[in-house]
Every structure is written in structure tokens, then in C-alpha cells.
Amino acid sequence: MANLGFIGLGVMGSEMVNRLLDKGHSITGYNRTRTKAERLVKKGMKWADSPRAVVAAADVTFSMVTNSAALGAVANGADGFLAGMTKGKILVDVSTVSPAYSREIAGKVREKGGDMLDAPVSGSVITLREGKLSVMAGGRRETFEKVEPLLNDIGPKVTYVGENGLALVMKIATNLSLAVQMLAFSEGVLIAEKSGIARETAVDVLTHSVVGSPMVQYRGPFVLEMPDVAWFNVNMMQKDMVLALELGRQLDVPMPTTAVTNEFLTAARGMGMAEKDFAVLFDTLAQMSGVTR
């Protein structure tokens, strides 16, 4: 049993804590909105009033927040986790943020005598619950080896990819393809539907065809019925697409499909669908095609 901390108890963060509690670990948690943590507190998670208090109570602390600004908010200041960091403590950030900013925070953690990994995950709430999540890790190998068993408790596929920031690069490379695939899948459904094929039939054929990646298989049916709660909303996906475009510009890698898909995410936001799952790329393209849901 490990003495863990967890900062950020949103949809994915809560499920990770739930999984770690099931593995028998002791966890102290913090979230900006405490009500989201009540279910976990009842299950045995200890509550802390600040990120600083979480880190002070734990040997290894996980953080999962929405973006670089949110990471800065929980890291800095009198109540931030940097203020609670001391020699030997480890922070594992599973957020998807700017690689450069993550490296900056890692440097500040080391100044305090601790160490930090970036360890973003690939998958959804469903894959997490089913124990099929994959984890990428970047940072010092010796630190990775210390926490690898904990990462395995979150997701069975754990890959060390290199120095700090590189796991985030790998995550961004993965996520840009998710959105691009969803847009391409939507194009396929719509040309089939407008040709006279039932939408349900088109979805069934495509999800069971050679294009049926795991993402297409579990998110493709969303073009028939959207979930009440977004698994990964338009705003979050666009944040990752912008990170991808920034990396492409820095590395001189053209990103044509990412750029086009990003514009459709902007259109979705303009249509009032920012908080819906990014599968609404279908709805955006459908409206442009004169098709209603």
C-alpha cells in the first residue's frame, strides 16, 4: 500500500482515485469543488484543503487538471503543491499541458528536492473502468521505475518515452489523431446517409471495418446518440489541437489535417457545442451538409 496524494478530481481524476483505492492505496485528495469528492471521501479518501496539504501528506502525488493555466494555479502560491514539496517527494502530473510548461514546473519541483514525471494517459472513462488505459511517462528513468507499479495500477499499458515533456508530446500526437479520425468518420457516415443508407447501418459497417480503431468503435455510435455527459469535450480537444499546432510550427512539421479539424472544432464552439463531446464534429459537418440529427 502506497501513501498517495491526488490533486484534481474531475471525471478522469475521480475514476483514477477510485481505481487506486480499490488497489488498497491510502489517498489524500483535493479538488477546487469539494462536492465532486464526496463519493471518494465516503469510500475512504482523506480530504485536504489545498494542493500544498496534499503533497505534505503524501509520498507520491498525482495531479490531473484541465490545462497549463490550471497546472500553474495548483502549483504556485502559498497553497500550491510546490510549497509542500520537500526532498524525496514525487509529483506525477497526468494532465495534458504544454510540454515546455511541464518542464518548467519539473525544474521548480527539483529545486525543492523532489522530482516530477509527466504521465498523460490515453483512453476514456470507459477504458479506465475496464482497465484498458495506456500511460506514457517522461522524466528521469529512476523516478519512473519507483512509480511504475502505481502507474500500472491505473492502466495496464505503461510506456517510458524519455525525458520530461516527451510523454506530453506523445499524448498530443495521439490526441490530434483522435479528432482527425472523428472528422473523417463523420464524412464517411454523411456521404453514406445522403446516398440513401440508414445512418445506423453506416455506423455499424464503419465501426466494424478496417477503419474501426478503438476510438471509432466506442465514439462512432455517438453520431446516433450523444452521451449526457461529455467524455472529452470540444474545449478540451481544441486545447490539445492547439498544442499540436504549436509543436508543429516549432518543429517545422506541416499539420494540414490537424489545422482543418481544429477549424471544425472552432465551428462547433460557434454553434454552442463547446461543452459537448468532441464527437459533435459530426453535428457540425452534418449541419453544413443540410442533414439533421
Q: Quick one: 137 and 277 in the same domain?
A: no
Q: Does residue 32 lie within any of the structural domains? A: yes
Distances (CA, A) of 21 to 42, 117, 129: 11, 21, 13
Q: Does residue 62 lie within any of the structural domains? A: yes
What is the reported pLDDT for 18?
93
Q: Does residue 293 lie within any of the structural domains? A: no
Domain boundary among 137, 163, 189: 163
The number of distinct structural domains making up the chain is: 2
- Interhelix angle 166-194/281-288, nearest 10 degrees: 40
Asked whether the beta carbons of 141 and 160 are under 8 A apart, the reply is yes
Domain boundary among 107, 129, 163: 163
Q: Quick one: 238 and 135 in the same domain?
A: no
Residue for cell digits 500500472? 152
Q: Does residue 41 lie within any of the structural domains? A: yes
CATH number of the domain to which 225 belongs: 1.10.1040.10
Q: Quick one: 138 and 221 in the same domain?
A: no
Q: Quick one: 15 and 149 in the same domain?
A: yes
Q: Quick one: 64 and 137 in the same domain?
A: yes
What is the reported pLDDT for 271?
96
- Beta-bridge partners for 63: 7, 93
Q: Quick one: 109 and 26 in the same domain?
A: yes
Compute the distance between CA of residue 156 and CA of residue 20 in angstroms, rounded to an integer: 13
CATH number of the domain to which 80 belongs: 3.40.50.720
Q: Does residue 259 lie within any of the structural domains? A: yes
Asked whether the beta carbons of 216 and 207 are under 8 A apart, the reply is yes
Distances (CA, A) of 4 to 43, 46, 47, 81: 15, 10, 12, 14
Q: Quick one: 144 and 9 in the same domain?
A: yes
Q: Quick one: 53 and 183 in the same domain?
A: no
Q: Quick one: 144 and 184 in the same domain?
A: no
Q: Does residue 135 lie within any of the structural domains? A: yes
Q: Does residue 94 lie within any of the structural domains? A: yes
Is the torsion defined by CA of 120, 122, 125, 128 positive or negative? negative
Q: Quick one: 194 and 145 in the same domain?
A: no
What is the reported pLDDT for 147?
96
Q: Quick one: 157 and 203 in the same domain?
A: no
pLDDT in tens, the chain (293 residues): 889 999 999 888 999 999 999 999 999 999 988 888 899 999 999 999 999 999 999 999 999 998 999 999 999 999 999 999 999 999 999 999 999 999 999 999 999 999 999 999 987 777 787 777 899 999 999 999 999 999 999 988 899 999 999 999 999 999 999 999 999 999 999 999 999 999 999 999 999 999 999 889 989 999 999 988 888 899 999 999 999 999 999 999 999 999 999 999 999 999 999 999 999 999 999 999 998 87
pTM assigned to the model: 0.88
Q: Does residue 111 lie within any of the structural domains? A: yes
Q: Quick one: 152 and 8 in the same domain?
A: yes
Asked whether the beta carbons of 218 and 238 are under 8 A apart, the reply is no
Q: What is the chain's length?
A: 293
Q: With 0-12 CB in 10 A as exposed, 13-18 as middle and 19+ as buried, what is 26?
A: middle
Residue-number span of the structural domain to which 50 is assigned: 3-163
Domain boundary among 148, 163, 178: 163
